[in-house]
Amino acid sequence: MYELHDIVEMKKAHPCGVNRWEIIRMGMDIKIQCTGCKRLIMMPRKEFDKKMKKVLEKAGE
């Protein structure tokens, strides 16, 4: 579904105006970083699964 360093789109855009996030850490919690302003957000995996819209870029591409 998604892996470390994938670029994902969330359902709501970040206040900086960008809606592209890079997955930085995966485990029980997932840490994502805004590709625009570099803000870090950590949330439980269950919440991330609800809020993620789609994977835009896979890590290896």
Question: Residue ranges of the domains in the chain?
Answer: 6-57
DSSP string, 3-40: -TT-EEEESS--TTS---EEEEEESSEEEEEETTT--E
Residue 21 has what pLDDT? 97
Residue 25 has what pLDDT? 96
pLDDT in tens, the chain (61 residues): 899 999 999 999 999 999 999 999 999 999 999 999 999 999 999 999 999 999 999 987 6
Residue 1 has what pLDDT? 87
Q: How much is the pTM?
A: 0.89
Residue 38 has what pLDDT? 96
Residue 22 has what pLDDT? 97
